[in-house]
Amino acid sequence: MKEPKIKTRDLTLFYGEKMALNAISMDIPEKEVTAFIGPSGCGKSTFLRTLNRMNDLIPNVKITGEVLVDSLNIYDKQIDVVNLRKKVGMVFQKSNPFTKSIFENVAYGPKINGMNNKAKLEEIVESSLKKAFIWEEVKDRLHDSAMGLSGGQQQRMCIARALAVEPEIILMDEPASALDPISTAKIEELIFELKKSYTIVIVTHNMQQAARVSDVTAFFYLGELIEFGKTKKIFTTPDKKQTEEYITGRFG
């Protein structure tokens, strides 16, 4: 088996006094889709956010343990968070386009990284939008406000925006939870396509979605990693009783 893209070792996280994650150790494989499932408040989103240090923004967070991305501990004091996030991109639950044009939204990442060549920017914007399967829908209105797009389009544009900085890992925090089934299907199709070149970690509340899109699944409950393994196995013959009960809908 090839070296995992992300490894966590005894990752424990406190919000103030409250323990949100308890000694999570996990290996996330490269260029595959890893799904996190579990009931609300079980820590899966928190765990996702530790992978690109988005939790740094929240005051009173205390983290112990290690997160190794390509064998480098990202909680090392020497690590530059800004560069880390270029490598580990993120797509949020609620689409959050900037109040700028579609072009400006997608070009934002490359621009803040010092890309000023207009032709090159246009190229990046076009290829990113194509990768996110939204180019055909927006190519004639690149300079209109992104706020005018539909929810599903906004979310795909946000994915394009994340792709524009050429990350290696994409974290998705319930990317389809606010979307209708058709938009959800498009996002899933997109995830399937993206895993050829990116390592994807997705948090979802939708069991079928996890089963459909992921290769590996992790089940969280009350801040603990209950079970982690091949999606097929988790959904058919889980080792733990809790996993089985959650998947079959008996609790959660």
Partner 1 sequence: MDNSINNTGFVFTKESLRKKFRWSEFLSERIITGVAFLSITIIILIFFFVFRETLPIFKQKKEIVKVESVQKQEQYGGDENAQPTNASGQEQYGVITKDTMMTENQVVGEDTVIHGADEATVKSLLGKDWLPVSDRPRYGLIPLLVGTVKITLLAILFAAPIAILAALFSAAFAPPWMREIIKPAIELLAGFPSVVIGFFALMVMASFFQNIFGYDTRLNAFVGGVAMALAAIPIIYTITEDALTAVPRSYTEASLALGASRWQTALFVTLPAATPGIFAAVLLGVGRVFGETMIALMATGNAAMISVNPFESVRTLAATIGAEMAEVVFGDTHYSVLFLIGSLLFIFTFGLNALAEFYVKGKLVKRFQGK
Which spans of this chain sit near partner 1 (rule: CB under 8 A)?
52, 54, 57, 59, 82-83, 85-86, 89-90, 92, 94, 96-100, 108-109, 112-113, 144-149, 158, 161-162, 164-165
Number of alpha helices (DSSP H) and beta strands (DSSP E) in the chain: 10, 10
Question: Which is closer to partner 1, CB of 169 or CB of 218?
Answer: 169
Q: Which residues pair with 244 in a beta bridge?
A: none
Question: Which is closer to partner 1, CB of 143 or CB of 230?
Answer: 143
Tokens standing for 236?
């058919």
Question: Which is closer to partner 1, CB of 201 or CB of 226?
Answer: 201
Rounded to the nearest 10 degrees, the angle between the axes of helix 151-164 and helix 181-194 is 20
Question: Which is closer to partner 1, CB of 138 or CB of 211?
Answer: 138
Q: How far is the CB of 75 from partner 1 (least distance, A)?
A: 17
CB 77 within 8 A of CB 159: no
How distant, in Å, are the alpha carbons of 50, 68, 142, 146 from that of 224?
Answer: 15, 19, 44, 38
Q: How far is the CB of 169 from partner 1 (least distance, A)?
A: 12
Residues 6+ apart with CB under 8 A from 2: 29, 30
Question: Which is closer to partner 1, CB of 75 or CB of 108?
Answer: 108
CB 51 within 8 A of CB 6: yes
Cβ count near 80 (within 10 Å): 9
DSSP state of 187: H
Q: How far is the CB of 183 from partner 1 (least distance, A)?
A: 17
Question: Which is closer to partner 1, CB of 170 or CB of 225?
Answer: 170
Q: How far is the CB of 46 from partner 1 (least distance, A)?
A: 14
Q: How far is the CB of 47 from partner 1 (least distance, A)?
A: 16
